């Protein structure tokens, strides 16, 4: 059933910054020579905010967020890009939309919008970016873009659009195909940090219930019992009041 999910998220990409690594050949003890260093730029030289989505069938729309990102702006992005992305990726009318619990995403007006559009929304556990496979695509995107060394924000946006469409379908499919392993890793850590995301987590909850809910999600015959709002089992009980240190 994970193939029916349209994953989404927002991210910030800096023009210059920690994302932009450079490698050089140098002699021993010359690491600090001017020709082997990159000058720092205050505030990373500027940045852009992006909203994107993907499924196992490939990447969906990638949108630059202009101005303040509030509930109205978020609903505007959804209105212009969500249904078209689902159509382009051939997810069908019963696809499931994933988003995190940002207040803009869970606002009453946003919930009403989903209701009007008959969009099934995946209930998502708090403090769980490590459960969203789009984080891997964001990292792929940032690496690919900064290899091209954009010189201004216009180029940065252009390169982001080009590299987003260049992300392979096989990469997207693999992230979704291996998603059960991601869940298993978090469950094995009992809600704690996994190898991919290190941090300190306050752990609590009923593990037996967690396992039952996970099994229920994996049993497609149970989906009809869940109604239009799908329950995402893994880690909600464990992470609802969690604190992560990144």
Kindly report, residue by residue over 148-192, the tens digit of the pLDDT. 999 999 999 999 999 999 999 999 999 999 999 888 888 887 776
Higher pLDDT, 245 or 221: 221
- Four-CA torsion 197, 162, 79, 234, nearest 10 degrees: -20
Per-residue pLDDT of 215-228, as tens digits, reads: 445 544 444 443 44
Higher pLDDT, 200 or 16: 16
List the 120-121 sheet strands across, edge first: 58-64, 47-55, 5-14, 96-97, 120-121
- Distance from first CA to last CA of the chain, Å, rounded? 31
How far apart are alpha carbons 45 and 246 in whole angstroms? 23
Residue 134 has pLDDT above 80, yes or no: yes
Residue 144's pLDDT is what?
Answer: 97
Per-residue pLDDT of 62-110, as tens digits, reads: 999 999 999 999 999 999 999 999 999 999 999 999 999 999 999 999 9
CATH class of 2-239: alpha beta
Residue 216's pLDDT is what?
Answer: 41
Residue 222's pLDDT is what?
Answer: 40
Task: Identify the bridge partners of residue 50 per DSSP, sorted by sequence position.
Answer: 11, 64
Helix or strand run (H / E) with residue 193: none
pTM exceeds 0.85: no
């Amino acid at each position: 059933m994970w193939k029916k999910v349209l994953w989404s998220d927002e991210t910030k990409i800096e023009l210059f910054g920690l994302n932009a690594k450079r490698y050089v050949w140098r002699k021993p003890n010359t690491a600090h020579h001017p020709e082997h260093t990159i000058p720092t730029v205050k505030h990373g030289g500027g940045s852009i905010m992006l909203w994107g989505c993907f499924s196992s069938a490939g990447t969906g729309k990638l949108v630059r967020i202009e101005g303040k990102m509030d509930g109205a702006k978020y609903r505007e992005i959804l209105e212009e890009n969500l249904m078209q992305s689902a159509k382009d990726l051939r997810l069908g009318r019963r696809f499931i939309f994933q988003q995190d619990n940002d207040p803009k995403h869970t606002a009453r007006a946003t919930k009403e919008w989903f209701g009007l559009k008959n969009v099934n929304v995946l209930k998502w556990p708090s403090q769980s970016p490590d459960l969203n496979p789009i984080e891997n695509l964001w990292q792929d995107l940032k690496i690919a873009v900064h290899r091209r060394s954009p010189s201004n924000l216009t180029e940065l946006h252009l390169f982001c659009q080009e590299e987003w469409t260049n992300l392979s379908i096989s990469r997207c499919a693999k992230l979704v195909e291996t998603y059960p392993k991601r869940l298993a890793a978090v469950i094995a850590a009992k809600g704690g940090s996994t190898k991919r995301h290190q941090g300190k987590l306050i752990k609590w909850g009923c593990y037996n219930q967690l396992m039952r809910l996970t099994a229920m999600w994996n049993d497609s015959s149970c989906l009809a019992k869940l109604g239009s709002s799908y329950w995402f089992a893994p880690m909600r009980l464990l992470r609802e009041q969690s604190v992560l240190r990144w």
